[in-house]
Structure 1
Amino acid sequence: MEPWLKPTTLEGELVRLEPMHKSHKVDLVFAASDGKLWELWYTTVPSPPNMDSYMDVALSEQNAGKSLPFTVIDKKTNKIIGSTRYLNADSKNRRVEIGATWYAQRVQRTGINTECKYLLLKHAFETLNCIAVEFRTHYHNFPSRNAILRLGAKQEGILRNHRIDEHGNLRDTVLFSILDSEWKTVKTSLEFKMKRGGSK
C-alpha cells in the first residue's frame, strides 16, 4: 500500500520546502546557530552536537509513516533557513500535526512562517484530504502560541503535565487545530496576509 505521506516539494513565492536529507546537516546547523535557537528553554531546536540524532529521529519517523520532515529554503538566497514537518500522521482518521518548526533568527517575522504554514495546510487539506490539522506548542512559548492563533487556528485546550523535558521540567502543551470546514476561510485570510506582506 502506498504511504499516505509521500516526500514532496512544496513551493511558494518566498520559500521552497524540500524533503529533509542528511546532506542538509551542515546548512541546518548554520541556520540553527543564527540566534543560538537551542538556548530557548521552551523549544526543541537542535544544537550542533545534536543535529545528527535530531535528523535520524525525523527520518526514521518518516520511514515509519509517522512524519514528513522538510528543510526550509529561502528562495531569494537559495539558502537553508530552518525546518518544519508533518507529525503524528493518522491516515485512517486523516489527521496530521504541523510542528517541529524553527527558523534562523534573521528570517523570523518576515512573512516566511506564514507562507510555510500556508503551503503545509494547503497540501494537508487539498492533497491529503485531512479533516483536521493540529498544532501543539509549549505553554510558555507565547510567540509560537500567538503565531498559531494568527494563522486562524483555534485553541482546543491544554494538556497539563504532558511531557518531562531533558532538564526534568514538566511541560504543559497547548493544543490548537484547524478543521477542513474552516480551511476555505483560513486560506482566504492567509492569502490576504501574504499579499499584504503579512509577518509571522
Structure 2
Amino acid sequence: MLVNAFQQPIGAPLPHWTARPVPPHTPLNGHFCRIEPVDVDRHVDGLYRAYSTAPDGRDWTYMSAGPFADAESFRSHLIKAAASRDPLHYTIIDLATHEPTGMLALMRIDSGNGVIEIGHVAYSPLIRRTSAATEAMFLLLRHVFDDLGYRRCEWKCDHLNAPSRAAALRYGFQYEGIFRQAVVYKGRSRDTAWFAMIDRDWPAIRMAFERWLAPENFDAAGVQRVTLANLIAAQCSGTESSFRRTPESSQE
C-alpha cells in the first residue's frame, strides 16, 4: 500500500498520464459488421424497417426514447442522434446484407480521466443474438482501449432491465452496484445498475472476444461451440485482470 508523507494511504501514481483523445466519429470495420456514424438519409429507412420487425414495443421500455408511432417520429429521433456529439451515435451495418440493423453509442466522454460509457444500445431483431451483435460491441471496446487508450469503460442500465444486465456481464463488464433514484425517464424513477471494465481487464477480455468470433468456434449450422462468458472466465483466470465472476455472470 502506498502512503504519502503524512502516512495516509494514496492511489497509484500515474506520472505519464495525459488526457485521452475525444473519440473521432469515424467508421469501425469488422468481419460481420461495420459501425458508422448515424447518417439520417442513408440509415433512416433501413433502421425503421429493422426495428419494425419486432412484434411490439417492449424493446424500448428501458430506453430513453421510443417506441415510435411512425416513420416520421423515428426520423425526428434519428436527426437528433446524428447531430449529437455526446452521445456519439453509431449505426450497425450487417456486412452480409449491407443493411442497418441497430444502433449504439459512446457517451459521457470524460477524456481528462480516461472514462467513457457505451450506451443507447438498441439492437433490432435482425441482429440480436448474432455474431454481428457481439462484434459490434467488440469493435467499440477495442476502439476505446486500444485506439484511444481510455482507462475505464462503463455500462449503465435500469436495474430492472434484466437483459441489459445479463448482456453487460456476458461482454465482460463487472457489476459495481446500484445508484438509487439516479434518473427520471418516461415519467418513472430509475435505480441505475453500474457495470465497468478497466484497462487491465481488457487484454484478457479482448482475447476471449477474438476466440469467440473465430470461425472455428462455430459449427456448420453456425452454433457457438464455447460461450463468450466461458471464454472470458477462462482467459481472466490466473491473469492480472481485476475480473471477478458473479452469480449472474454465467448467463449467456
TM norm structure 1: 0.88
Q: CA deviation at 1:53?
A: 3.6
| Aligned-CA RMSD value | 1.9
Matched, 1:194 2:217: no
Alpha carbons of structure 1 residues 119 and 34: separation in structure 2 relative to 1, 3 Å: same
Q: CA deviation at 1:90?
A: 0.9
Q: CA deviation at 1:57?
A: 3.2
Which is bigger in relative contact order (C-alpha 8 A, separation at least 6)? 1
User: Which aligned pairs between 1:63-82 and structure 2 lie closer than 5 A?
Assistant: 66-82=86-102
Residues 90, 96 of structure 1: 8 Å contact kept: yes
Task: Determine which of 95, 104, 129 is the counterpart of 1:84.
Answer: 104
Alpha carbons of structure 1 residues 138 and 27: separation in structure 2 relative to 1, 3 Å: same
Q: Residue type of the partner of 1:51? A: F
User: Which aligned pairs between 1:87-102 and structure 2 lie closer than 5 A?
Assistant: 87-102=107-122
> Structure 2 regions of 5+ residues with no counterpart?
1-20, 219-223, 228-251
Task: Determine which of 72, 82, 89 is the counterpart of 1:59.
Answer: 82
The answer for the alignment partner of 2:27 in structure 1 is 9
> Structure 1 regions of 5+ residues with no counterpart?
none
User: Which aligned pairs between 1:8-157 and structure 2 lie closer than 5 A?
Assistant: 8-23=26-41, 24-35=43-54, 38-40=57-59, 41-44=61-64, 46=66, 47=68, 48-62=71-85, 66-157=86-177
Q: Residue type of the partner of 2:113? A: N
Residues 161, 171 of structure 1: 8 Å contact kept: yes
Q: State the distance in 2 between where 1:106 and 1:55 align.
A: 19
Larger displacement relative to structure 2 (23-32 or 90-99)? 23-32
Structure with the bigger percentage of strand: 1
Deviations 1:151-173 (A, max 9, x none): 1110111111122222x221111
Alpha carbons of structure 1 residues 37 and 91: separation in structure 2 relative to 1, 3 Å: farther
Larger displacement relative to structure 2 (111-120 or 176-185)? 111-120
SS at match of 1:107: coil
- Aligned pair count reads 194
Aligned sequence identity (%): 30
Higher Cα Rg: structure 1 or 2?
2
Residues 6, 68 of structure 1: 8 Å contact kept: no
Q: Residue type of the partner of 1:18? A: E
